[in-house]
């Protein structure tokens, strides 16, 4: 079969719809992942033995298992264990929240602990409660340091959405597969899918570099 690049134009609307689903899963999942990761990271950095252990177990379990296994567990095993049935889209978002949260937790922990203890002690010495020291002194400094690794995690999570093809979520990879199955134009369709992923990750990288540059100036 001869390669015909112009045929891609016929399927651009469908691919864009798939890309929109990919972006939706990524954005919602990372919003939840950042919140969960920040909480777990602070639990690891400042929690007592019990709180630290809870966060540690969560992080190690998630980082030690593939995201595909986590998705399968949420979609197929959770209904059996807890009689909770969730749709594929919700499963995908929840999987990103849980998976990204574990990695973000370690990023947050590392950034927080990298700040000099002298600053924390100085804040406590002038009578500030610990939570104010974390929010007003440690937090802003740690935020600048976590931007690069956090950006990497954002990109990884965006690409991880392609794995949700296993539960039938209509994201970009699934859309590309369905189009290819109908016309067998594997070269053209998968090239178009790859380019769209490159555009999304490129834009995300550019935005993160702008934020990093801005924070460096400040």
User: DSSP class of residue 76?
Assistant: I
Structural domain for 17, as ranges: 12-215
Q: Is the pLDDT of residue 193 over 80?
A: yes
CA distance 56 to 111: 17
Domain membership of residue 3 (yes or no) is: no
Domain membership of residue 180 (yes or no) is: yes
CB 182 within 8 A of CB 14: no
Domain membership of residue 2 (yes or no) is: no
The chain-wide mean pLDDT, for the chain, equals: 90
Domain membership of residue 4 (yes or no) is: no
User: What is the CATH number for 187?
Assistant: 1.10.3720.10
Predicted confidence (pLDDT) per residue in 38-94, tens digit: 999 999 988 899 999 999 999 999 999 999 999 999 999 988 888 888 999 999 999
Alpha-helical regions (H) of the chain: 8-46, 49-63, 67-72, 78-82, 88-113, 117-125, 130-133, 139-160, 172-183, 186-217
pTM: 0.89
Q: What are phi and psi of 3, to 5 degrees?
A: -75, 130
Predicted confidence (pLDDT) per residue in 115-163, tens digit: 877 777 777 778 778 777 777 778 777 888 888 899 899 999 999 999 9
Number of domains in the chain: 1
């Amino acid at each position: 079969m001869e390669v015909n690049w112009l045929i891609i134009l016929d399927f651009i609307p469908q691919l864009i719809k798939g890309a929109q689903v990919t972006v939706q899963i990524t954005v919602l999942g990372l919003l939840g992942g950042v919140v969960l990761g920040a909480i777990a990271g602070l639990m690891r950095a400042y929690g007592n033995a019990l709180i630290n252990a809870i966060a540690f177990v969560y992080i190690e379990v998630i980082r030690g298992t593939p995201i595909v296994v986590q998705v399968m567990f949420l979609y197929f095993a959770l209904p059996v264990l807890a009689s909770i049935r969730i749709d594929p889209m919700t499963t995908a978002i929840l999987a990103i929240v849980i998976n990204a949260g574990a990695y973000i937790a370690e990023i947050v922990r590392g950034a927080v602990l990298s700040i000099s203890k002298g600053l924390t002690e100085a804040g406590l010495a002038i009578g500030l409660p610990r939570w104010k020291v974390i929010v007003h002194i440690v937090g802003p400094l740690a935020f600048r340091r976590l931007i690069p690794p956090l950006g990497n995690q954002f990109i990884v999570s965006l690409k991880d959405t392609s794995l949700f093809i296993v539960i039938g979520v209509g994201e970009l990879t699934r859309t590309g597969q369905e189009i290819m199955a109908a016309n067998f134009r594997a070269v053209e369709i998968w090239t178009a899918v790859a380019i769209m992923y490159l555009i999304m990750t490129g834009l995300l990288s550019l935005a993160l570099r702008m934020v990093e540059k801005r924070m460096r100036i400040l």
